[in-house]
Chain A
Amino acid sequence: MSIPAEPALPAPARVTSGTNGSEHAAVELAGVTKRFGKITALDAVSLFVRRGELMTLLGPSGCGKTTLLHLVAGFLIPEGGEIAIEGQRITDVPAYRREIGVMFQNYALFPHMSVARNVGYGLRMRRMARPEMDRRIADALALVKLAGLEDRRPRQLSGGQQQRVALARSLVIRPKVLLLDEPFSALDRNLRASMQVELKEIQRKLGVTTIFVTHDQSEALSLSDRIAVIADGRIRQLDTPHEVYRHPSDRFVASFIGDANVLRARLERIEGAVASVALGAARVTVPMRTLAGSAVGSAVDLFVRPEDLQVAEPDAAAAAHGTVAAQIYQGGHIDLYVDVPEVSSGRVLLRVPSHEAASLRPPGTRIGIALAADVAIAFRAA
Chain B
Amino acid sequence: MPKLLRLLGGATVTAILAFLLLPAGVVTLAAFNSRAILSFPPEVWSWRWFIKAIAYEDFQAGVRNGLIVTAWASSIALAVGAAFAFALDRYEFRLKRTLETILLSPLVVPHFTIGLGFLILAAQLGFARGYSVIVACHVVLVLPFVLRSVYISLRNLDPRLELAAASLGASPGRVLITVTLPLLLPGLVSGWLFAAILSFNEFTASLFVTVQRTQTLPVALYNYVREYADPSMAAISVMYIVATATVLTLANTFLGLAKVLNVEHSR
Contacts and interface: CB of A to CB of B under 8 A. Distances in A.
The reply to whether chain A is a binding partner of chain B is yes
A98 interface: yes
Contacts, number: 66
Interface string B165-176: 111111110110
B166 A96 contact: yes
Interface in A63-110: 73-75, 94-102, 104, 106, 108, 110
Contacts of B41: none
A205 interface: no
B126 to A, nearest CB: 49
Contact of B168 (A111, A112, A122): A122
A273 interface: no
Given A104-B160, A110-B179, A112-B183, A125 B170 contact: yes
A362 B267 CA distance: 51
Given A110-B179, A112-B182, A112-B183, A173 B160 contact: no
A178 to B, nearest CB: 10
Contacts of B158: 106, 108
Contacts of B258: none
Interface string B158-194: 1011011111111110110011001100000000000
Interface in B145-165: 158, 160-161, 163-165
A94 B174 CA distance: 14
Contacts of B172: 96
B183 A95 contact: no
A169 interface: yes
A108 B161 contact: yes
Given A111-B267, A112-B182, A75 B163 contact: yes
A111 to B, nearest CB: 7
B168 A121 contact: yes
B164 A125 contact: no
A75 B179 CA distance: 17
A102 B163 CA distance: 9
Contacts of B171: 94, 96
A249 interface: no
B251 to A, nearest CB: 18
Given A108-B161, A111-B267, A125-B174, A102 B182 contact: no
A126 interface: yes
B132 to A, nearest CB: 37
A126 B164 CA distance: 15
Contacts of A98: 167
B267 A102 contact: no
Most buried by B among A110, A169, A173: A110
Contacts of A261: none
A280 B171 CA distance: 66
A170 interface: yes
Contacts of A108: 158, 160-161, 163-164
Contacts of A111: 183, 267
A301 B98 CA distance: 55
B169 A125 contact: yes
A97 B167 CA distance: 8
A347 B175 CA distance: 55
B219 to A, nearest CB: 42
B169 A74 contact: no
A66 to B, nearest CB: 11
A108 B161 CA distance: 5
Most buried by A among B166, B170, B182, B267: B166
B165 A102 contact: no
Nearest to B164: A108
Contacts of A170: 167-168
B163 A96 contact: no
24 contacts: A73-B163, A73-B167, A75-B166, A95-B166, A96-B166, A96-B170, A96-B172, A96-B175, A98-B167, A100-B167, A101-B168, A102-B164, A108-B163, A108-B164, A110-B161, A110-B165, A112-B183, A121-B178, A125-B170, A126-B169, A170-B167, A170-B168, A173-B168, A179-B167
Given A75-B167, A100-B167, 4 more contacts: A74-B166, A94-B166, A121-B165, A170-B168
Interface of B: 158, 160-161, 163-172, 174-175, 178-179, 182-183, 267
Interface of A: 73-75, 94-102, 104, 106, 108, 110-112, 121-122, 125-126, 169-170, 173, 179
